[in-house]
Every structure is written in structure tokens, then in C-alpha cells.
Structure 1
Amino acid sequence: MIMFFEALFKNLSTWGLPTLVLLLGLVEFSLGLYKKHWNRNEILLDIACFTIPKLVVRPLVAYFGLKVLPLVFPGYKDAFEWVPFWWGFLILCVADDLTQYWYHRLHHEIPFLWRFHRTHHSAPYMGMSMASRQNIIYTLFFSQTYVTTTLVYLGLGYPALFVKGIKSIITTLAHSSIPWDKPLYERRWLHPVAWVLERLISTPATHHAHHADTSDDGVGYYKGNFGNMFFLWDILFGTGLITRQYPASYGIKSYQQEEWYAQFLWPILKSRKEGSELAPNGPMVQEDEPALLPSTPQPA
């Protein structure tokens, strides 16, 4: 068993991460954590969002990127190979995770962009599958794939792949319905660890709050907690809220169980649900949609 998990973490960039996600999903499913929410439409959407980017989009971007980059930046292959591993790690944290923070935040603050991110918030449940549940257009403009490919070409491949693996683990566990951080809040002697951890990385408590369908309870906070790997960005930019509690319900109030293909491929394919944000001539934002209302940043 130890050898299996050692091999799994050594191969996170290939078969390791999908295997880890599958194992986590089996645990969630066996514990009934998806309850009655995971119907056929939700299953098809989650499968499409999980498989197509990994099997089609990212391999194509990597393949063509490594073909095009030598033409755009001739002579720069492995130019930064001399950079020490931890400096490469820090460079990637800023180049990838900080830009992703702003990419994510803008999709909440700009009405036109909201519909490209809406799929990620539509599910009335949390689980490991939520980490990859995104509209294909949102995924295509996602910075991580392009940054990783570019850094591999420039000679920072090892730290880039390392950060990609660590980030995937953190974001998957933050979306999981298993509250693995709860013991840190329940045991007083672990509170110092909790204080540091919840301000450094995304945890179930902080990220579940981002997926709540209301902020009226003082726990949900879909207007902030935008951090992906690092919650530190929310601390620095004043968009973080830490309560050490979990929302009672998730999703968006205007969700109409839009067809999985419409959620995944909008605006290429649109929903037949009248009045939906994903329907032809649908509103950019439902009038009762809270995710884009003005808000005052909360202290962490």
C-alpha cells in the first residue's frame, strides 16, 4: 500500500492525479455525500468537465504549444534551466496562481463573464468533481495550462509540474465534501496549525463558503474566497472570510438544471430552459443572482 501511494504521488502529472480523484470520489460516493443531488444530468456534466480537458484540451495545448514556442521564442529553450527549484516554485505561484485568482475574481465581478463560470457554481452539492466542473470556454482561457507549457519549454518544467500536482491536490481536497479540516478546529492544541493553514491554502471551510447559495447566514461568501491553491491572495486583497463553519446549502438560486451540454458548451450550445442565463437571449445575470452584487470585503 505504501509503495502504491509513493508511485501515485511520483506520477501526479500523468496517471496519479486521476487515480487519486477516483479514489476520493469512491469514498465520497460510498458515504452518500452526494445524496440525491447527483442525477443523470449532473453526472454527465461532471464526467464531461473532468475528462475532456484532461484528455483533449491540455494535451493539444501542450503539443501545439511546444511546436509554436520555438518559433515565437527561438533560442530560449531551457533558458531558465539554471533557476533553482524553489525559485521556480515561487515564480510559478505568482505567474499561475495569482493570475488565476484575478481570472476567477473577474468572472464573479463582470456580468458578461459570469455565464462562463456559472457552471462551476450551479451544483447544489460539493464534491471532488466540482474542482474541474467548468464551461469549456472558461477552461480554454485558463492560465495554468499555457503557463505550465511555457515554463516547461523555458526549462522550469520540474517545478511547474510539481506545483501543478500540488495545486491539483489542494483544489480537489478543498472542493471535496469530506471536511478534512474540521479536526483542526475542534482540537484546541491544533488551532495554531489551523490559523496558519487556512490563511495559506484553500480548505473545505473557506472554499465551501465560496460555493454557498446565500451569504445571509454569515457563513456563505460567494463574493470572496476566490483563492485556488493559495488563500493567501484573499488575505492580501481583502476578499477573504474565515468562519471555520460550512454552509447549509450550495449552488445558485437561479439554477434550472440546465442541460449538461449547455452548461459545458455555452454559448456554442444553449439551454432550452426559458429565462435561463444559458438560454438564447437569456439574461447575463438573473435578477436574484447574488454572486455579482456589490459587496464590502470582509476581514479574514
Structure 2
Amino acid sequence: METIKLVFTHLNGWGLTAILLLTGILEFSFGLYRNWKATDKAVDLASILLGRLVMPAIVSWFALTLLPNVIPQLRNVFSWVPLGWGILLLAVSDDLTQYWYHRLHHEVPWLWKFHRTHHSAPYMGMAMASRQNFIYTVLFPQIYATITLTYLGLGLPALVVRGIKGLITTMAHSSIRWDKPLYEHKWLHLVAWVLERTISLPATHHAHHAAHDRDGVGHYQGNYGNMFFLWDVIFGTAKITRKYPEQYGLEHYQEEEWYAQLFYPVFKSRKEGSELAETPAKPVAVTRILTEDITPEGVAV
């Protein structure tokens, strides 16, 4: 138990950050960010800072102040649950909650505006992995579900799930197509078949970020899974092609101001016709246009 705790403490502490930085350096060396525009830089970097500096304060208040005052009698009530069952409970509660939260933000027009920022990046990579409207992030239900279960005594299972999920979701956003050998080598096809129906891989998650579906790969109205792609298989939103989209991006992206993308509806865009403007265009979550500024060409390995 102590070894598991030590491994996942380090993974959640400095391990995932190191993986993110090293992968980002590789992506940069492959030329992904050669056309990284000022607006996108601001949105990406501000999202990372908000996630590292502000969200921990909110999470700490919820865990250390709110829960002890609201349900003091339930602290560690589930501490008897075996590690394996605890991991299963945390994994399902966290990721299934996020699947539906994510899916609703694609299917409900007014919710789409809060998730739109994550899809406005015309590229995939470590820089945009945390790119989100801050209100969308603050209201992540899976965060509070996991914190509550931790308070109830499932701290070690939460640590394990957080580490594994962080690793999977980080690498699914990478522009480095590390899953490509699974599709190219026949002897790995069985491994590919199992993995692509179980967890999010670059091919399936990139399809979710596609600029369009005319290439037969893009599937922005599906492939919602974060850690587990299994939810898409179960709920009929999966599309598996073992290919990668031609281009990434978002229809009507006008490089809206960084503050509008991060803090809508507190701050709105001044760009006429923007979905984030005071008088927005009709929200469209299901149609995209080509984005030619940054593509994954030349960065796949």
C-alpha cells in the first residue's frame, strides 16, 4: 500500500507535470507551435495558470472547509472499502460524470459556449490540453465527486485514479501519434482493438477535435470519453477509424479575446457575430470549417 501511495503521489505531484513539459518540448521541436498566434498563446497559458493557481484554492476550500462543516460525521466512513473496489468506484464515478458533463456541453447550445474554448484551438498538443473556459472548469462535477469520496475515506483510490486518468487524458491530447504503431503492425492489432475501445487514444480523441467530418474521420459530436472511451462504445457515440483528422479547429473562430474565451459570460467578445459576443450568432456546435493556421502535419511519429 505504501509503495502504491508513494508512486502515485509522485505521479500526481511532479510526474504528470514532467511528462507534459517533455511532451511539449518534443511537439515544439516537431514544429507544432511555429504558427502559434498571440491570442491562442494567451488563452492556453492563462488556462494553465488558472488551473495551477486558482483551482487548487477552490478545491482546498471545498475539501477542507465545506465538507467538514456540512457532513462532519461522514469523514472516512468508506475507509473499510478494499483498494480495488475503491479504484473501480472512483474511476466510474469520476469519468462517467465527466462523460455526461462533456456530452451535454456539446448537445445543449447554451452550454456549448462554455466548452467552446477547448475546441477553438486549431491544433492538438500539450499547450491546449488545459484550455477551457474557467467557469466550465470550476463547475466540473467530477472534481467534487472525487473530493467527496476522498473525504469519505477513499483517498488512496482517488490518488491512483487521478494519476492514471491524468496520464491517459494528457497523452490523448498530444500531437505525437504514439498510438500509430498499434495500427500499422498486424501483431499489435489485437492490443489496438482492446485499447481503442477501453481508453482514449490520440486517434479517437483527435477525431473529437476535428475541424470537419468530410474526411470521414472527424467526429466532434461523439468520442466524448476522457479516461474511458468505453462510455462512447456503451452509449453509441463512438467512431473508430484508426486515422487522424485533416485539420483541427472550430467554425466561426475569430480569435476572440482571451478574456472572452476564458471568462464568458462575465466578459463577452467584441467580435461581431461571435458566439461569445453580446449579440451572438446562433450557437453551432455541430458544424466546423477548415482551419489552416496550424495542422498536425509533420509532427506525427
After TM superposition, the score normalised by the length of structure 1 is 0.90
Report the Cα offset of residue 60 of structure 1. Answer: 2.4
Match of 1:81 among 79, 82, 90: 79
Q: Deviations over 1:159-201 (max 9, x none)?
A: 1121111111111100100000000000000000000000000
Q: Deviations over 1:34-60 (max 9, x none)?
A: 341x11211111111112122211332
Can you give the 5+ residue segments of structure 2 that lack an aligned partner in the other structure? 1-5, 290-301
Partner of 1:254: 252
Aligned equivalents of 2:59 and 2:98: distance in 1?
18
Report the Cα offset of residue 284 of structure 1. Answer: 4.6
Aligned equivalents of 1:16 and 1:120: distance in 2?
24
- Taking the TM superposition and a 5 Å limit, the aligned residue runs for 1:25-36 are 25-36=24-35
RMSD: 1.8
Partner of 1:175: 173
Aligned equivalents of 1:8 and 1:154: distance in 2?
22
Structure 1 288/139 Cα, relative in aligned 2: closer, same or farther at 3 Å? closer
Partner of 1:16: 15
Which 4+ runs in 1 deviate beyond 6 A?
none
Report the Cα offset of residue 8 of structure 1. Answer: 8.1
Aligned amino acid, residue 26 of structure 1: I
Range moving further from structure 2, 213-222 or 224-233: 213-222
Partner of 1:115: 113
Aligned equivalents of 1:90 and 1:145: distance in 2?
16
The question of whether the paired residues in 2 share the 8 Å contact of 1:209 and 1:219 is answered with yes
Q: Deviations over 1:41-92 (max 9, x none)?
A: 1111111111212221133222333212122212211111111111111111
Partner of 1:190: 188
Aligned equivalents of 2:229 and 2:286: distance in 1?
28
Partner of 2:216: 218
Range moving further from structure 2, 147-156 or 271-280: 147-156
SS at match of 2:13: helix
Aligned equivalents of 2:178 and 2:286: distance in 1?
33
Range moving further from structure 2, 122-131 or 193-202: 122-131
Across the two proteins, how many residue pairs are aligned to each other? 284
Q: Does residue 97 in structure 1 map to residue 115 in structure 2? A: no
Aligned equivalents of 1:239 and 1:191: distance in 2?
22
Bigger relative CO (Cα 8 Å, ≥ 6 apart): 2
The question of whether the paired residues in 2 share the 8 Å contact of 1:92 and 1:163 is answered with yes
Match of 1:44 among 31, 42, 45: 42
Structure 1 275/194 Cα, relative in aligned 2: closer, same or farther at 3 Å? same
Aligned amino acid, residue 13 of structure 1: N
Structure 1 210/115 Cα, relative in aligned 2: closer, same or farther at 3 Å? same
Aligned equivalents of 1:69 and 1:129: distance in 2?
33
Range moving further from structure 2, 117-126 or 53-62: 53-62
Q: Deviations over 1:70-125 (max 9, x none)?
A: 22212211111111111111111221100100000000000010000000100111
Partner of 1:297: none
SS at match of 1:75: helix
Match of 1:56 among 54, 57, 70: 54
Aligned equivalents of 1:244 and 1:8: distance in 2?
32
SS at match of 2:74: coil
Q: Deviations over 1:235-267 (max 9, x none)?
A: 000000000000010011211111111101111
Aligned equivalents of 2:87 and 2:129: distance in 1?
22
Aligned equivalents of 2:271 and 2:186: distance in 1?
49
Structure 1 288/212 Cα, relative in aligned 2: closer, same or farther at 3 Å? closer
Can you give the 5+ residue segments of structure 1 that lack an aligned partner in the other structure? 1-6, 292-300
Identity %: 61
The question of whether the paired residues in 2 share the 8 Å contact of 1:224 and 1:239 is answered with yes
Aligned amino acid, residue 14 of structure 2: W
Aligned equivalents of 2:56 and 2:139: distance in 1?
11
Range moving further from structure 2, 237-246 or 42-51: 42-51
The question of whether the paired residues in 2 share the 8 Å contact of 1:116 and 1:138 is answered with yes
